[in-house]
Chains A and B, each alone.
Chain A
Amino acid sequence: MPKDSGIGAATLRREDVRFLTGKGQYSDDINLFGQVAAVFARSTVANGKINSIDTTTAAAMPGVLAIFTGEDFAEVGGNPAGWLINSRDGTPMHEPKRPVLAHGKVRHVGDAYAAVIAETAEQAQNAVEAIEADIEELPAVVNMKDALSGSNFVHDEIGTNQCFDWGWIEDNRAATDAAIKGAHHVTTLELVNNRLVPNAMEPRCSMAQYNSATDEYVLHTTSQNPHLTRLLISAFVLGIPENKLTVIAPDVGGGFGSKIYHYGEEALVLAAAKKLGRPVKWTANRTEAFLTDAHGRDHVTKIELALDAEGNFLAFRTETMANVGAYLSNFSTATPTFLHGTLMAGNYTVPNVYVNVKAVFTNTAPVDAYRGAGRPEATYSLERVIDKAARELGMDPIALRRKNFVKPDQYPFASAAGLEYDSGNYDALMDKMEEVADLAGFAARRKESEAKGLLRGFGVNAYIEACGIAPSNLVGVLGSRVGLYDAATVRVNATGNLSVMVGAHSHGQGHETAFPQVVAEMLGIDASVIDIVHGDTSKIPFGMGTYGSRSLAVCGSAVVRATEKIINKAKKIAAHMLEASDADIELKEGVFSVAGTDRSVSFGEVALKAYIPHDFPLEDIEPGLEETAFYDPANFTYPSGAYCCEVELDPETGKVRVDRFAAVDDFGNVINPMIVTGQVHGGLGQGIGQALLENTTYDENGQLLSASYMDYTMPRADDLPFYAVDHSQGNPCTHNPLGVKGCGEAGAIGSPPTIVNAVIDAMQSGGKNVTHIDMPVTPHRVWSAMQNV
């Protein structure tokens, strides 16, 4: 096995050749004969009654081919939520279906109420401006507290803005309350987990084709999960049979969660393509991305931590309001509940956990999973309140965490929030973190900063998260309407090279490099002869796509299972060729041999034989060498980590600069360490962006004030430090064949509390008793906080 291409090799990403040379094929790069353009008319008010839409003038404008309004889709289905949540009283959540185009009312700025199809996008845009829509502006519901207490409803027919009132675990509630009541010390913290705009580099784009001769549709779209999109369109929205609809997600320029979901624009272009008999393309501009991509986070939380006199954690109790926006995006109900509440025991042996989440409708863009999805919110709440408790009790923040860590001999560990952690070693992570971060040198560095008039703060954080979503049998019990397995087909071609069709979708994760490393390792051949096929429902088996750091843990496991089947069959063929028994065949470094002899055939010879089976015993061996496996995990995987950072704070301006950052993660086994490091870097960039920079602000009328890069601060290279990233402390996952855990979201989960803890420490070191500051920790906020104590 060449060491530079199997498991553990830091192979360069083969997909980067096309990305970096402009040869990527994104949805908008694909142009078809006869293609026309769709442009949407979008609401400029957050809440409005559609009195009338007059398209007469617009329809007569040059190039205009068709105009759709909500009326045209009144009879078709709506986009559903993928997860049913029941409230504490047992009643199911309120679930307004989102129509393809707004009908009757518009409910957020950017809500599409009409679409124009024209020969060119410019003509369509001109016609959109000529649509005469009489939309009566109504008072908007923006703030969650007001939404819950008021009588102005986003969905009149529901009669409340509360989607659900969820308790986790309801049976733990009384014990948690009692533990808090009787505790030696209770630390309370109210915080906001700020709303984020995903800002994928590639805006959404959808193009549909329709063939009237075969009644078949093809949809090219920016999706993280083409099969899921097809299922939603087929089963819920348009009713196109799945066998008549191909969904292709070609190269996709980043998703971060926002491209998991099915959006109305996809359905619109499909309907338009059929009506006109021509390919119809829509490409979002950046403003549309800001206004209509599903946003992330947006929690308002009160958390309490109860401790005994020795600093042992007795209970965490959390009350959260989670904004779901104006409509339920597909996973919006799972994110603040089962991806958040179940993590509220953290890395700790705390015996009591209770979480209450109220999901709230507002006249804002939908909110759904965004890199980390629920786990960053859980980690932020836990690790901020723990830090505050350490300060209140005068304890070292690392020692307090260590005191309460689950210990290595306690696995499998049943957490008080209902999960079973399979493996980990949080003290070892903390040890490594202290080493790579040079904690011993902090005091000297603080002195140097102070000599420059700057305050240096140290922040630490321990996180655990749940990845590899997820066991279908578990999520089914918890309300998921889909299964969460994945699938792979390994096709050995006659000439000995391989095509591996996977249900996972790569939009920055490096699957095209990492997955072949797994197959290469198993077969003992070079990874360069193995290619991944993904993103096309007509080519790949039914997998659930990529999100929740699941690709390798779930789909990679399916690849392993399918490759095992290949090996079994190849051994049969080799045994036939070598006139030996199957059981005596060994595979080593790409060669099948009869144990204890020098008789052998190469992998390539077996592959060729599989397709030229002139002498096969057909009752024992079928021709061909192609196998499919579906893999459904037994549990989530549980990556964990210890992060720390040092910030320098300018007390005159409030400006915070991240000087050092150390991220030590347990990802289990690592297939390609370079890709893993890159994933951590990306996650840290987004987490630091959330902590210091990114702020989504709606005014009281529901206008998005931060709707462009002039006001929404994306992290740039000079906002970020050099990172010390380490994943040497892996404890393999015990229940998947690769022992992998998932690395895509860790950085975004672990970094926000690390940064904020460090900012608090810096302010405290300057004699300012600031105990909390909300994200993003902008210079203005820091300066104001320091003025006010």
Chain B
Amino acid sequence: MYAFDIERPETIAEAVAALGGEAQALGGGQTLIPTLKARLASPDKLVSLSSISEMQGIRLEGRDLWIGGATVHADVANDGTYAALSDLAAHIGDPAVRNRGTIGGSIANNDPAACYPAAALGSGATIVTNTREIAADDFFQGMFDTALNEEEIITAVKFPIPEVANYQKFVQPASRFALVGVFVAKYADGVRVAVTGASNEGVHRWSAAEDALSSNFSAGALDGLSVPSGNMIADLHGSPDYRAHLVKVMTGRAVAQAS
């Protein structure tokens, strides 16, 4: 780790003021701190978001579940209002990760194998920042790439609560990130299916499955579908064909277990 300064602002406004230059926002640090330890990043300054009370907490806002950007996974896991989301949060990393890692940090990082991006995209969530609101469909722009500008902070994420939903994660055995994760959510106006872990494009929707499931919400509705493997990830843990296969299997299981 190289030396750096750290600031701990208590308001969003102070945090924005502290960012700029080579400063780097620090959420729960579950990705950033190991990166710093490995000397793979050298920010002059870290701006910790964990003392900002207005970015904490979980509450119902109309039909949306509002989750502060600095809320840790363990709190989401324990909330239970949106059962599929809580279940997803309960299976991220290990207890240490869940008690430090934050939803805003995970979504801003947009790791192609992370769980939260699938929930946000699969729920049609709204990403709230210090300057604007961004629809999940516009937010995720490829591996580790998002619509966030420099010095923009995710202050909250708003999840419309679906009729039923489920997340199925087939873990990469070493990291236990998603080798393939599929989030399925059924709303009055249709079904959304978001896939993480599988694609070189990062989290994405499987529109053919959404169409099929919107007219017939059962695993059998997927029978005639196949997932193209062309853009799937190839690595030590799975080939593109295997990942494409798992997308379909996990989608079917998510539908079968949606509640």
**Which residues of A approach B to under 8 Å, CB–CB?**
122, 125, 129, 287, 652-655, 693, 695, 697, 705-706, 709-714, 778-780, 783-784
Contacts and interface: CB of A to CB of B under 8 A. Distances in A.
Contacts of A783: 242, 245
B236 interface: yes
B170 interface: yes
> What does DSSP make chain B's interface, helix, strand, loop or mixed?
loop
21 contacts: A122-B1, A125-B39, A129-B39, A287-B38, A652-B249, A653-B246, A693-B173, A695-B236, A697-B236, A705-B236, A709-B174, A709-B175, A710-B174, A711-B175, A711-B236, A711-B237, A779-B173, A779-B238, A780-B237, A783-B242, A784-B239
A713 B174 contact: yes
Contacts of B173: 693, 713, 778-779
Interface residues of B, number: 15
B239 A653 contact: no
Given A652-B249, A697-B236, A705-B236, A780 B174 contact: no
A780 B170 contact: no
B249 A780 contact: no
A466 to B, nearest CB: 33
Contact of B238 (A125, A129, A705, A780): A780
B225 to A, nearest CB: 15
Contacts of B238: 779-780
A655 B180 CA distance: 13
Q: Which of B1, B38, B236, B249 has the most CB of A within 10 A?
A: B236
> What does DSSP make chain A's interface, helix, strand, loop or mixed?
loop
A710 B249 CA distance: 24
A697 B249 CA distance: 28
Given A652-B249, A653-B170, A653-B249, A780 B175 contact: no
Contacts of A655: 170
Nearest to B37: A285
Contact of A710 (B175, B239, B242): B175
Contacts of B1: 122
A711 B242 contact: no
Interface in B211-259: 236-239, 242, 245-246, 249
Given A693-B173, A779-B170, A780-B237, 15 more contacts: A129-B39, A653-B246, A693-B174, A697-B236, A705-B236, A706-B174, A706-B236, A709-B174, A711-B174, A713-B173, A713-B174, A778-B237, A779-B173, A780-B242, A784-B239
A190 B170 CA distance: 31
B16 to A, nearest CB: 31
Q: Which of A652, A693, A706, A780 has the most CB of B within 10 A?
A: A780
A125 B37 CA distance: 12
Nearest to A125: B39
Interface in B157-189: 170, 173-175
A712 B237 CA distance: 10
A39 to B, nearest CB: 12
B197 to A, nearest CB: 13
Contacts of A706: 174, 236
Given A705-B236, A778-B237, A780-B237, A712 B174 contact: yes
Interface in B43-95: none
B3 to A, nearest CB: 8
Given A653-B170, A712-B174, A784 B236 contact: no
Contacts of A778: 173, 237
Nearest to A652: B249
A212 B1 CA distance: 35
A650 to B, nearest CB: 9
Q: Which of B38, B170, B242 has the most CB of A within 10 A?
A: B242
Contacts of B174: 693, 706, 709-714
Nearest to B176: A716
B156 to A, nearest CB: 30
A710 B174 CA distance: 5
Contacts of B242: 654, 780, 783-784
A452 B136 CA distance: 37
A705 B245 CA distance: 24
Nearest to B1: A122
A703 to B, nearest CB: 12
A713 B170 CA distance: 15
A217 B161 CA distance: 69
A784 B38 CA distance: 35
Contacts of A122: 1
B257 to A, nearest CB: 14
Contacts of B38: 287
A695 B172 CA distance: 13
A729 B216 CA distance: 60
B115 to A, nearest CB: 16
Nearest to A692: B173
A697 B245 CA distance: 24
B48 to A, nearest CB: 22
Contacts of B175: 709-711
A653 B251 CA distance: 13
Contacts of B249: 652-653
A128 to B, nearest CB: 10
